[in-house]
Structure 1
């Protein structure tokens, strides 16, 4: 081999080694993760994660991230167990010995007492501790995740990157996507478009899921078409802060629900009966044609666990045996 050929091989080897080293550095630690509040640099894989968002805790559990404690919602409700953890992952939380930090209002003192090396905060929603981010950042690296404009798959991918559990996140997503694709081939869609919503009590207030929501994204991936309220009714985006819901209320509720089918998230058979018997909706096509379906109490927030349960319910409702 002549010198030109030898030096050429050496140069190629050097380039390959350099590229490999850079790739490993990008995949390894320290790493910088982009959150909704800016970039956060993590020196090593976190070992003690505290979640201030009960919504995001389920996604952390799904990818086997070392979450040791979490904020909670009101306990012993139709959504939550005795700890205030969502029922769809309650059993997993017990197996992992997940600790409840507080109910509702976040406590920086309780968070600090757990000696976290990563704190997870949601950007929106009732479980957001966004006002405490500066204070929490003095305790440990604090990552803000915005879940109101993402599918649950996008959320777990983001959390996987932050925790070093990319492989677990990818496995969950791939298995779910395969199941979803199989369901799409087998499903017989009800009359389209659909009003996908959360029916609150007597129907005086309704939250309609948009295409930006995890619920809306999942339905669209399955071939559903979302029915949105008229433009003049779309002013109720939770004071403009949230992209996933449109809030409806008042005497124009029936005309603002434009779907031929009603899909009731965070609802059961009693919820469906409440809709069917509501006098303001008595002449709505979805009601008169009995195209009203409850999709389960645990679908109020979608994570891997509740989304998997949702696929099972949709299969039961819309796949002909």
Structure 2
């Protein structure tokens, strides 16, 4: 629900949008004139099917995840909304990359800035912010918002189709498929085939999150031959935001032979779950990993997660930090070239 202050800001922006619409009518639609256009495409988005111009020019990315995916397939958005959370290595790595690539980072939800930029296309991932702002964004330019429950492969494929860089997107998908197969072969040799993996985190004082089989991590674990515990829906995909809340008295249900504990902004200052006496992991294999990557839903997160799995289960390398993101970005960009 929009707050009163938000409604007032939207009212101011509507006036700006009206003026912008007059300018666009006189000059021709940005979507109709943008360089790189090659027709229109219909995509299944977060709010139903939408038909948008196919263009790789003058794109406004609603979030850094979308902006990074676009850069990987060879499309440079003019702007990207910032992440609002802090303390997550993958989020900070994306900010670093976007700044290096010359993408202007702005505070999310600043509709006045979107109007001023006159984008040909607005693209982003579904979020609470996009749920609130999508109707206002449509008054500025064509909008495509990726549905929150789709896989990273479908996300990348849709971004490729929307920008005319579908071949580059498919090349990344193929590359990551080969990379995943190589990691699985090593895990199989080490005897991990069929092992059960739990993904969890603290989610504030006295609350915990169990992560399902969606986002990027869930399908990737399945491809690697792991199973997921049924407790609290970790074996299910397609949940609205990819997780379920767990009370402290049920914390023991989240223990499995392999446990990855997601750390960072998701904790909201709560203590490390590994220090809770109800979370007795015993001789389980345990890794503390970055929330920003493991809760991600994009191709950028895949090599990050694969590297963490190798580090925890195979003793190969270290848990990825902020600086490691640059290497994964370069790898995927090279695969698409």
- Output the TM-score relative to the length of structure 1: 0.74
In the alignment of these two chains, the number of paired residues is 272
CA change 1:246–1:180 in 2 (3 A) is same
Pair 1:110-2:119 in alignment: no
Deviation at 1:30, TM superposition (A): 2.8
- Supply the distance in 2 between the matched residues of 1:190 and 1:274 (Cα, whole angstroms): 29
- Supply the distance in 1 between the matched residues of 2:130 and 2:232 (Cα, whole angstroms): 33
Pair 1:97-2:102 in alignment: yes
Alignment match of 1:288 (pick from 282, 287, 291): 282
Alignment match of 2:245 (pick from 247, 258, 274): 247
Alignment match of 1:79 (pick from 74, 88, 111): 88
Cα offsets for 1:57-116 (capped at 9, x unmatched): 3322222223111111237x3226xxxx9223334312321112214xx12212112111
Deviation at 1:267, TM superposition (A): 5.8
Pair 1:30-2:40 in alignment: yes
- Supply the distance in 2 between the matched residues of 1:317 and 1:33 (Cα, whole angstroms): 38
Q: Does the 8 Å contact 2:201/2:273 carry over to 1?
A: no
CA change 1:158–1:220 in 2 (3 A) is same
- Output the TM-score relative to the length of structure 2: 0.71
- Supply the distance in 1 between the matched residues of 2:204 and 2:134 (Cα, whole angstroms): 34
Pair 1:205-2:199 in alignment: no
Cα offsets for 1:150-204 (capped at 9, x unmatched): 22222111111111111111111111110100110111328832211233466x2
Q: Which has the larger radius of gyration?
A: 1
CA change 1:243–1:298 in 2 (3 A) is closer
CA change 1:213–1:37 in 2 (3 A) is same
Deviation at 1:47, TM superposition (A): 0.6
- Supply the distance in 2 between the matched residues of 1:138 and 1:150 (Cα, whole angstroms): 26
Counterpart of 1:18?
none
Cα offsets for 1:257-293 (capped at 9, x unmatched): 252321123469x99x933321222xx3xx1114221
- Supply the distance in 2 between the matched residues of 1:219 and 1:241 (Cα, whole angstroms): 17
Alignment match of 2:257 (pick from 257, 260, 269): 260
Output the aligned Cα RMSD. Answer: 3.2
Q: Does the 8 Å contact 1:79/1:298 carry over to 2?
A: yes
CA change 1:314–1:100 in 2 (3 A) is same
CA change 1:267–1:222 in 2 (3 A) is farther
Structure 2: gaps of 5 or more residues:
1-36, 317-337
Counterpart of 2:326?
none
Deviation at 1:28, TM superposition (A): 4.6
Structure with bigger RCO (C-alpha 8 Å, 6+ apart): 2
Counterpart of 2:55?
45
- Supply the distance in 1 between the matched residues of 2:42 and 2:297 (Cα, whole angstroms): 27
SS of alignment partner, residue 39 of structure 2: coil
Cα offsets for 1:198-249 (capped at 9, x unmatched): 33466x2222221133211111111111113257x99xx9xx9715111212
Counterpart of 2:195?
192
Deviation at 1:302, TM superposition (A): 3.9
- Supply the distance in 2 between the matched residues of 1:179 and 1:53 (Cα, whole angstroms): 26
CA change 1:222–1:190 in 2 (3 A) is closer
CA change 1:253–1:289 in 2 (3 A) is same
- Supply the distance in 2 between the matched residues of 1:211 and 1:224 (Cα, whole angstroms): 11
Pair 1:183-2:188 in alignment: no
Alignment match of 1:278 (pick from 276, 292, 297): 276
Q: Does the 8 Å contact 1:190/1:261 carry over to 2?
A: no
4+ long deviations beyond 6 Å: none
Q: Does the 8 Å contact 1:151/1:218 carry over to 2?
A: no
- Supply the distance in 2 between the matched residues of 1:118 and 1:249 (Cα, whole angstroms): 42
